[in-house]
Amino acid sequence: MADTDVLVVGAGMAGLAAADRLVARGRRVVIVEARDRLGGRIHTTHAPELASPVELGAEFVHGRPAELVALIEALGLTLVAVPERHRRGPGRPPLPDLRRSLARLLEAGDASHDRPVAELLDETRGTGEPGEVEAVARYLEGFHAADLSLLGSRSLAENENAGAEDGEDVHRIREGYGALIERFVARIDPARCEIRLGQRVTALHWGPREVRSAVRTGNGRTEVTARQAVVTLPLPVLCELVEATGPDAIDPAPPQWQTALRTLRMGSAHRAVLGFDRRWWAPDGENGPSFVHGGAEAFPVWWTALPSHEALLTGWTGGPRAAALSGQPEGVMLRAALESLASVFRRDVAELRSALRLAYTHDWTADPLSRGAYSYGGVGAIEARELLARPVGGTVVLAGEAVARKGRNATVHGALASGREAADTLFAS
């Protein structure tokens, strides 16, 4: 007899969403999570000096995605609106309206013909305002964490449509994203859901109505058997298990997964959270800027903690620039961040260093349990995600941000929806 009804691999938002739904419908669940904490790419920390939480993974709620907003409200958490005023650093030409410019370029370049976004941008170069295409390219690399020679134009258009449907406003969770995970887990009945932390699934063997998983624990190996499984592994970790030929593999690897997974890409992004002795960017207690954009810096975009007046600045880099920084020691990453900040705000780096009190970063690309920040779709990704959302043999189903559909990949709300959908699919199959 199987150990449990459903094995859920991974305890990020997708895994917890699947478990919550399965348990609510009477299934027994075992969640196996390789980290010694819950949440995956939601990772909130707290500094004693700060009232606000520090987000090392997801930070914003983009728009008002209905399922996520309902969950946040049901768990008694508070959404705080982030003023989204974008501007260039001092002494630089003004920033175009990036969303409007992007919409124009997608239309001018016929995004419905699926091809790399870099190609589409090349064709439209020279149209519009001087520097507009370059500014849009920088924005896309940063926001989508994407290499534009790989990002597919239809996937991008789908992401943009999802953004328009969910709304353009931006919020944070006052208590931090980590509180969402804590309260979400607390509502899952522990009598029906066992969570095993610090245990890594190294192989999945499955057949009709049975899944056997090999699991590496802190002091050896074990096995978990189940009637069905929801697999929420981050994209590169999943691809490795699907393509492996040795004992550490998904066996049998559905051939349609291999082709479909190749159209999806994992993006690189880094954030550096820097705490200062005072809000030097907003003297005299003013609000000051919210988002400030530079140019060629390693960390070209910076945002403040507004509406909070905490003396915090967050630097962001995504795409090839972020990939180039990955694997560097934390000190090198933070030095690059401080130098970028000095360049974007036209400040003296030594002066900034002496005012610096706290610094946080996390290299998600070097992290073996994510191997990137979040995914983006290549050419053909929309059809591939449709295929990947189908269960295999009624036994195994994929979930997680990378397979989230309707343009919601790369987000917490996409992971939530995909976990719930995976649970529903297992019921139906």
Binding of residue 58 to ligand FAD (CB under 6 A): yes
Question: In terms of Cα–Cα distance, which of 5, 403, 339 is closest to 194?
Answer: 5
Binding of residue 235 to ligand FAD (CB under 6 A): no
Strand order through the sheet with 312-318: 86-88, 291-293, 301-304, 312-318, 269-276, 356-361
Binding-site member from 369, 380, 391, 406 for ligand FAD (CB under 6 A): 369
Tokens of 356: 């610096």
Binding of residue 9 to ligand FAD (CB under 6 A): yes
Binding of residue 143 to ligand FAD (CB under 6 A): no
Compose the 247-276 pattern: x for residues touching ligand FAD by CB under 6 A, - for all others.
Answer: ----------------------x-x-----
Binding-site member from 32, 162, 292, 423 for ligand FAD (CB under 6 A): 32
Tokens of 21: 């739904």
Binding region for ligand FAD (CB under 6 A) out of 113-121, 190-198, 404-412, 421-429: 404-412
Binding of residue 234 to ligand FAD (CB under 6 A): yes
Is the bond preceding 252 in cis, omega lying within 30 degrees of 0?
yes
Separation between Cα atoms, residue 77 and residue 179, nearest integer Å: 8
Binding of residue 57 to ligand FAD (CB under 6 A): yes
β-pairing verdict for 200-207 and 210-217: antiparallel
β-pairing verdict for 264-267 and 374-377: antiparallel
Binding of residue 364 to ligand FAD (CB under 6 A): yes
**How many residues does the structure list for the chain?**
429
Q: Least separation, in Å, of the C-beta of 96 and ligand FAD?
A: 23
Q: Least separation, in Å, of the C-beta of 161 and ligand FAD?
A: 16
Binding of residue 185 to ligand FAD (CB under 6 A): no
Binding of residue 173 to ligand FAD (CB under 6 A): no
8 A C-beta contact, residue 3 and residue 225: yes
Question: In terms of Cα–Cα distance, which of 106, 104, 97 is closest to 157?
Answer: 106
Q: Least separation, in Å, of the C-beta of 37 and ligand FAD?
A: 8
Nearer to ligand FAD, 109 or 178 (CB): 178
β-pairing verdict for 44-45 and 54-55: antiparallel
H-helix or E-strand spanning residue 193 = strand 193-196
The residues with which 269 forms a beta bridge, in sequence order, are 318
Q: Least separation, in Å, of the C-beta of 279 and ligand FAD?
A: 22
The residues with which 215 forms a beta bridge, in sequence order, are 201, 222
Nearer to ligand FAD, 275 or 414 (CB): 414
Tell me how many residues contact ligand FAD (CB under 6 A).
38
Nearer to ligand FAD, 132 or 363 (CB): 363
Binding of residue 181 to ligand FAD (CB under 6 A): no
8 A C-beta contact, residue 406 and residue 393: no
Question: Number of H helices and number of E strands within the chain?
Answer: 14, 21
Binding region for ligand FAD (CB under 6 A) out of 51-59, 101-109, 154-162, 179-187: 51-59
Binding region for ligand FAD (CB under 6 A) out of 44-52, 230-238, 274-282, 334-342: 230-238
Q: Least separation, in Å, of the C-beta of 75 and ligand FAD?
A: 16
8 A C-beta contact, residue 375 and residue 264: yes
Binding of residue 374 to ligand FAD (CB under 6 A): yes
Nearer to ligand FAD, 115 or 183 (CB): 183
Binding region for ligand FAD (CB under 6 A) out of 8-16, 118-126, 293-301, 303-311: 8-16
**Phi/psi-derived region of residue 40, left when phi > 0, alpha when psi is between -120 and 50, beta in every other case:** left
Binding-site member from 415, 417, 423, 426 for ligand FAD (CB under 6 A): 415
Binding-site member from 40, 236, 267, 377 for ligand FAD (CB under 6 A): 40
At 379, is the secondary structure helix, strand, or coil? Answer: coil
Contacts of 203 (CB under 8 A, 6+ apart): 213, 214, 241, 247, 248, 249, 250, 251
Binding of residue 62 to ligand FAD (CB under 6 A): yes
Binding of residue 200 to ligand FAD (CB under 6 A): yes
Question: In terms of Cα–Cα distance, which of 332, 414, 339 is closest to 366?
Answer: 332
Binding of residue 370 to ligand FAD (CB under 6 A): yes
Return the ∠ at Cα 200 (arms to 194 and 201), rounded to 5°: 85
Q: Least separation, in Å, of the C-beta of 154 and ligand FAD?
A: 20
At 216, is the secondary structure helix, strand, or coil? Answer: strand
Binding site for ligand FAD (CB under 6 A): 9-15, 32-35, 40-42, 57-60, 62, 200-201, 232-234, 237, 269, 271, 364, 369-370, 373-374, 400-401, 410-412, 415
